[in-house]
């Protein structure tokens, strides 16, 4: 079904990035993410914000007062499959 939605730029860019990485359409990715959110809310799972923000399509970690090492970056890349 086609419709018009007003989606925040960072959300759309992240969905496009996921779609490109997984070889899927952006609409399919957004539908799956929305579905997961609906089911999580319905099941009583507490809503929580991701541990990072996305700015201009790039995940940005919050300041923690500690240095970010190469090992930390490699661990995050492995976790995200990048």
What's the confidence (pLDDT) of residue 68?
A: 77
Helix (H) or strand (E) holding 29: helix 26-42
Q: Does pTM top 0.75 for this prediction? A: no
Instruction: Say how many CA atoms lie within 13 Å of 41 toward its Cβ.
Output: 6
What's the confidence (pLDDT) of residue 26?
A: 95
Question: Would you list the domain boundaries of the chain?
Answer: 9-80
DSSP 59: E
Alpha carbon distance 81, 75 (integer Å) = 10
What's the confidence (pLDDT) of residue 75?
A: 92
Q: Which residues of the chain have pLDDT under 70?
A: 41-51, 65
What's the confidence (pLDDT) of residue 29?
A: 92
């Amino acid at each position: 079904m086609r419709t018009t939605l007003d989606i925040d730029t960072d959300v759309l860019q992240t969905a496009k990035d996921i779609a490109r990485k997984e070889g899927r359409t952006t609409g399919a990715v957004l539908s799956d993410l929305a579905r997961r959110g609906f089911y999580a809310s319905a099941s009583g799972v507490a809503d929580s914000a991701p541990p990072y923000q996305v700015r201009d399509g790039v995940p940005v970690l919050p300041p923690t007062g500690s240095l970010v090492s190469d090992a930390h970056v490699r661990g995050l890349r492995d976790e995200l499959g990048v």
